[in-house]
């Protein structure tokens, strides 16, 4: 009797779960259904990501698991350079861990592609991508933009009145900010590496020689600048729009300035390592990152949606109203290794 009852309960639960999943499956296109079924057999995937803070990475994984039940999403959130080093160590040790690699340093991808360490995959959902971002995708399909954000000037409003806040990048060189500036390190953060390349392009290396005289506090991740502003250890920063505004939403006295010479547009790709232990789940996750569900998570934390049709978060400035600048992929790929050394020489860290 007990066995029959248990069997009946199992049958009912299975039927209920099947009915719950039916509408979601019915809405999927044929290629998505096939990919989902293949991914479920792999059961889980791990993402190495530098795109987001830990909270946003967790929300994206949760949204993926909700959309695709039966696949567990794990993530390792680090700075871009640490993620890259970890991936290289995995490859050297022949230990397949990451199924998706998401770096903020675009210079990582041409090198991985050149060495044959990425698998080509052009997501079906790329058709939904914001048109202006498509130019940054790899033409051979080895990596695709899955995140976009801005780097700009931020400040603590309890310490700096709006009228006195820096309005452009060179304003950070004013001696009045001596001992009051926070920045990240290009040897650790892809955001910062790209920013340093841009500042050198716009103003020459003398920008950093002058900045050094203002004795900035140098963290690792670009997100460290937000911590420094909140603690009042520093008053102004070259920081990330998304993390700064997210902290402001939580009640911290922070604000952002869109520099008159342009905010740095950060486009961050994702790719699938050649040795991905869950290649089908990786492809499905790449598709998910270009979905409306992912876009809605991104804008809630003030990142920019990379897909069309997602309304910006309340209080966010629309991208089309912001002057943005960005070095070319070649300038970033060639420039980041160079500026890492120059930065160390100039700042002694």
Report pLDDT digits (tens) over 208-249: 999 999 999 999 989 999 999 999 999 999 999 988 998 999
> Which DSSP string do the residues of 141-152 spell out, in sequence order?
SS-EEEEEEEEE
| pLDDT averaged over every residue in the chain | 90
Domains along the chain? 27-148+266-318 (3.40.190.10), 149-265+322-347 (3.40.190.10)
Task: Enter the pTM of the model.
Answer: 0.75
Q: Which residues of the chain have pLDDT under 70?
A: 1-26, 315-316
| Per-residue pLDDT tens digits for 331-344 | 998 999 999 999 99
On whether the CB atoms of residues 27 and 53 are closer than 8 A, the answer is no
Provide the pLDDT for residue 8. 45
**Burial (0-12, 13-18, 19+ Cβ within 10 Å), 150:** buried
- Per-residue CA distances from 80 to 74, 89, 129, 146 (Å): 17, 14, 23, 15
Model confidence pLDDT, tens digit, residues 51-80: 888 888 999 999 999 999 999 999 999 988
Quote the DSSP letter at residue 50.
-
Answer whether 330's CB lies under 8 Å from 313's CB: no
* pLDDT number for residue 19: 41
Give the pLDDT of residue 13.
42
Strand pairing class (144-156; 118-119): unpaired
Q: What is the Cα–Cα distance from 230 to 244, expressed in whole angstroms?
A: 10
User: Which two structure tokens, joined as six digits, stand for 48?
Assistant: 């190495």
Cα(133)–Cα(123) distance, integer angstroms: 14
| Residue spans of alpha helices (H) in the chain | 2-27, 30-42, 54-67, 80-92, 108-114, 190-203, 206-212, 224-230, 241-249, 279-289, 292-300, 329-347
Question: How many C-beta neighbours within 10 Å does residue 274 have?
Answer: 15
| C-beta separation of 169 from 202 below 8 A | yes
């Amino acid at each position: 009797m007990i066995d029959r009852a248990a069997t009946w309960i199992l049958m009912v639960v299975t039927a209920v779960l099947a009915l719950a999943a039916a509408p979601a499956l019915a809405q999927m296109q044929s290629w998505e259904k096939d990919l989902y079924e293949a991914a479920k057999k792999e059961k889980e995937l791990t993402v190495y990501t530098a795109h987001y803070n830990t909270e946003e990475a967790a929300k994206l994984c949760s949204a993926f698991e909700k959309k695709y039940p039966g696949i567990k999403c794990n993530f390792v959130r680090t700075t871009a350079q640490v993620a890259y080093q970890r991936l290289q160590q995995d490859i050297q040790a022949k230990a397949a861990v990451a199924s998706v690699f998401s770096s903020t340093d675009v210079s990582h991808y041409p090198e991985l592609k050149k060495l044959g360490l990425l698998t080509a995959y052009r997501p079906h959902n790329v058709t939904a991508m914001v048109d202006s971002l498509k130019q940054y995708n790899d033409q051979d399909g080895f990596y695709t933009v899955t995140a976009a954000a801005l780097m700009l000037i931020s400040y603590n409003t309890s310490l700096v009145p709006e009228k006195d806040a820096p309005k452009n990048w060179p304003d950070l060189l004013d001696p009045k900010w001596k001992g009051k500036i926070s920045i990240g390190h290009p040897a650790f953060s892809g955001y910062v590496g790209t920013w340093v390349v841009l500042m050198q392009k716009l103003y020459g290396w003398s920008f950093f020689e002058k900045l050094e005289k203002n004795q900035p506090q140098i963290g690792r991740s670009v997100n460290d600048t937000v911590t420094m502003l909140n603690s009042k250890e520093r008053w102004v920063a070259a920081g990330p729009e998304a993390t700064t505004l997210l902290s402001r939403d939580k009640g911290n006295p922070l604000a952002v300035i869109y520099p008159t010479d342009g905010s740095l547009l950060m486009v961050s790709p994702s790719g699938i390592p050649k040795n991905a232990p869950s290649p089908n789940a990786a492809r499905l996750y790449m598709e998910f990152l270009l979905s409306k569900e992912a876009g809605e998570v991104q804008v809630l934390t003030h990142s920019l949606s990379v897909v069309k049709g997602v309304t910006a978060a309340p209080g966010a400035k629309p991208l089309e109203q912001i002057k943005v600048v960005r070095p070319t992929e070649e300038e970033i790929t060639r420039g980041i290794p160079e500026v890492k050394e120059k930065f160390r020489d100039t700042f002694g860290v």
